[in-house]
Structure 1
Amino acid sequence: MSTHPPDESLSVGFVLLHRFTLMPFAAFVDCLRLAADEGDRSRQQRCRWTFMASNSEVVLSSSGAAISPCEPFSDPTEFDYIVVVGGIQAEGDRQDAAALAYLCKAAGAGVPLVGLCSGVFALIQAGLMKGRRCCVSWYHHRAMVQRFPAIEPVADRLFIDDGDRLTCAGGAAAADLATYLIERHRGKAWAMKSLNIMLLDEARAGTHPQPQPVVYGKIEDRLVRRAIAVLEQHLGEAIPMQALAERVGISRRNLERRFRDTLGVSPLKFSRDLRLRFGLWLLHYTGKSITEIGERCGFADTAHFSRHFRSAFDVTPSEMRKRSDRVDPFFLPIDGRPTL
């Protein structure tokens, strides 16, 4: 793998598959563009990028936007990384044999490969992920398990750096991965330059949890929304209610009144329910042990987690895991019980 010291150039080749997902591609390449020179003139100076595709000068994204022109596949050793951006996953989709062959050639030459969003499916189809963990969006987790049962998908983090294989859940996490690589090759100042211009506060680490889907209605109270945002950012800890009130800028008594008026529950119960929902999500989408999940959700011990989980969902975490194929946490109301 390339080990350039900071202040050397970074070269990335993009392999765009048919109907590739536009946002992760745009987030990744714009981080490169903004780190490429002192201004914002899109000059490929300290970072270089090339768009490549098989048998076409124009590639359509999943939204219908086109990237043109794209170049034929070139010598993979010209690049520090080859980034494959995947498309919509549908039964019966034809594999891009030329792209898969190129990825194999790049792997044989020792060039690190990056699977962005559903691009990881192409790395698997090319036989390049055997014995490896791969990061995948929670949204694609079930499809990967069904299509590739021998692969270990990870859906509770943003990206995984496994040396010569890097995989990313996609979406906004593509900017985090790009920043990670820019910092490695160009230094932290250049990485932060990209984020600042893109109006992003900071880069999230690869171990940062993917946002889990939480379903509740529109919340009118602005301060309650702010408090919920804080709770969502700290799913791994039980935030004291006084500290939460201080973060929002109101008294604890006012915070509790607003939660009861808006949601019908105390902020303490809402926080616990949110962490329990996160535990349900982890049971559904990861292979972590129940002990690990309880710790990840901020509970003091497994017994504490299991007791509250059973009270919320009428089943133990172990029983829920056995029935996870019949319960989709995306559609569970925040204070509801699953229909098993």
Structure 2
Amino acid sequence: MGSFSPRPFDTGFRPRINGPRLSIGFLLTKRFTLCAFANFVDVLRLAADEGDRSRHILCDWKIVSDSSASIPSSSGVSVQPNERFGDPTRFDYLVVIGGLIDEIDDFGNEYIDYLRQAARAGVPLIGVCTGAFLLHRAGLLDGYKCCVSWFHHRDFLEQFDGLNPVSDQIFVVDRDRLTCSGGVSSAHLAAHLVERHIGRAQASKSLHIMIIDDPLAADKPQPGLPLSFKTQDPIVLRALMIAQQSIETPLSVADIAGRMNISKRQLERRFQTALDLSPQVAFMDLRLTLARHLLETTDRSITTIAVACGFCDSSHMSRMFRRRFGHSPFETRSSRSAADTAGAGTAGGLEVIAHQNQE
């Protein structure tokens, strides 16, 4: 698809004189993610009325489509559209709910044309889950930051050369484009809209009824990304996630701090307080932990694993691996059953790296 130049976005909202304060149009892709859609729409439903009576009073929402045919979700449950495409300006936002990565090409030209029409009219667009892929393919994310799930980070890089999607936070608001990673984060994005248009009390109420904590800010780290450290410090979590997502080409501590708009010294202090480790040691441990996992669970060569984990060669990885775990990658590979008993190492073992390795 060709690129598209949107008109400047008016950051102020035009309050409605009559009717709901927030109106949302949903576009569901074939095999869309039901969880992401349900979380988003349930926040609207619970905020729209008193209790959970589901009347469209403060919020209104419709599923719009190019036909009246039901739309299958990735779980096999189908959803019936409410109406055909019409004037997109009757909505405050249009939300594209993405789904299975291998089937998003089935998003028809009528959908793309409708989204472009909405963008020309100044209607803000939202991409949920792989919905961001579709907005970008339509040329509607050029010049915007966008959020994708850590799970689809590499997929996005492979499909869209030269872009650096945000996958270390739950959602991104960039002018008139809003994107989120899907799952529970779609509930927090919906709560963000409810809070902005209706009020914080309604946003919190919706999430509490859904047994979800208070609304999270956009820069809250995405949950679910496997990490070898346990901490609740959001700055440390984001830094660890950025480091994990760039393992093949490791970033310096200064680069990661710069990406997070904080100083290198600030990041070092947060790591010391949260983990009693330096960022360098923690980032190295991420790489070594992944290397051990690949040695134990795959048949990839030690050289291939070294490259995949950001080491210049297998010798470099072997030296650091032995310091960290007390045995070589070859010993791990040849005796997988003994890997667990070899132990994951201790903070003392990590500190050896801190003193011996500045590579």
- TM-score clears 0.5: yes
Paired residue for 1:111, among 104, 116, 123?
123
Q: Does 1:44 align with 2:56?
A: yes
Letter paired with 2:205: K
Q: Is the counterpart of residue 180 in structure 1 residue 192 in structure 2?
A: yes
Tell me the equivalent position of 1:293: 256
- Given candidates 13, 38, 41, the residue that maps to 1:3 is 13
Q: Does 1:35 align with 2:47?
A: yes
Counterpart pick for 2:170 among 158, 161, 181: 158
Q: Match for 1:177: what amino acid?
A: L
Secondary structure (helix, strand or coil) at the match of 1:42 reads coil
Report the counterpart of residue 279 of structure 2 in structure 1.
305
Question: How far off its partner does 1:41 sit?
Answer: 1.4
Structure-2 separation of matches of 1:285 and 1:118 = 24
Equivalent residue number for residue 160 of structure 2: 148
- Assess, with a 3 A threshold, how the Cα gap between structure 1 residues 70 and 300 changes in structure 2: closer, same or farther: same
Q: Residue 107 and residue 288 in structure 1: after superposition, are their counterparts in 2 closer, same or farther (change >3 A)? A: farther
> Residue 41 and residue 285 in structure 1: after superposition, are their counterparts in 2 closer, same or farther (change >3 A)?
farther
Say if 1:97 and 1:313 are closer, same or farther in 2 by CA, change over 3 A: closer
Residues 21 and 198 of structure 2 are in contact (CA less than 8 Å); yes or no, is this contact kept in structure 1? yes
Q: How many residues align?
A: 277
Q: Calculate the TM-score normalised by the size of structure 1.
A: 0.71
**Cα 1:78–1:92 shift into 2, 3 Å:** closer
Runs of 4+ in 1 over 6 A off after TM superposition: 285-288, 335-340
- Measured after TM superposition, the shift of residue 56 of structure 1 is 3.8
* 2:244 aligned with 1:281: yes
Deviation of the 1:311 alpha carbon: 6.5
- Provide the secondary structure at the position in 1 that maps to 2:60: strand
Query: C-alpha offsets along residues 283-320 of structure 1, whole Å, 9 cap, x if unaligned?
Result: 3499975325365583359x9422554477469xxxxx
Query: What is the aligned partner in structure 2 of residue 198 from structure 1?
Result: 210
Distance in 2, matches of 1:28 and 1:63, equals 17
Task: Provide the C-alpha distance between the structure 1 equivalents of 2:68 and 2:22, rounded to a whole number of angstroms.
Answer: 26
Instruction: Give RMSD over aligned pairs.
Output: 3.6
Query: 2:72 and 2:78 mapped to 1: Cα distance?
Result: 4
Report the CA distance shift for 1:104/1:288 in structure 2 as closer, same or farther (over 3 A): farther
What are the within-5 Å matches in structure 2 for residues 1-340 of structure 1? 1=10, 3-4=13-14, 9-90=21-102, 93-214=105-226, 231-234=230-233, 236-237=235-236, 278=241, 280-284=243-247, 290-293=253-256, 298-299=270-271, 304-307=278-281, 309-310=283-284, 313=287, 326-327=308-309
Deviation at 1:141, TM superposition (A): 0.7
Distance verdict in 2 for CA 1:311–1:146, change over 3 Å:
closer
Q: Distance in 2 between matches of 1:327 and 1:36?
A: 48
- For the Cα contact (< 8 Å) 1:5–1:186, is it kept in 2? no
Larger Rg, first or second structure (1 or 2)? 2
Q: AA paired with 1:305?
A: P
Report the alpha carbon displacement of residue 86 of structure 1 after superposing the two structures with TM: 1.0
The alignment partner of 1:194 has SS state of helix
- Alpha-carbon deviation of 1:125? 1.0
Residue 5 of structure 1, CA deviation: 5.7
Give, in angstroms, the shift of residue 213 of structure 1: 2.7
- Given that residues 30 and 106 in structure 2 are in contact (C-alpha distance below 8 angstroms), is that contact kept between their aligned partners in structure 1? no
Contact 1:28 1:178 in 2 (8 A): yes
Give me the identity figure in percent. Answer: 42
Matched with 1:253 is: none
CA contact (8 A) 1:212 1:278 kept: no
- Partners of 1:22 and 1:11 lie apart in 2 by 20
Give the 3 Å change call, closer, same or farther, for CA 31–13 of structure 1 in structure 2: same
Cα 1:68/1:108, change in 2 over 3 Å: same
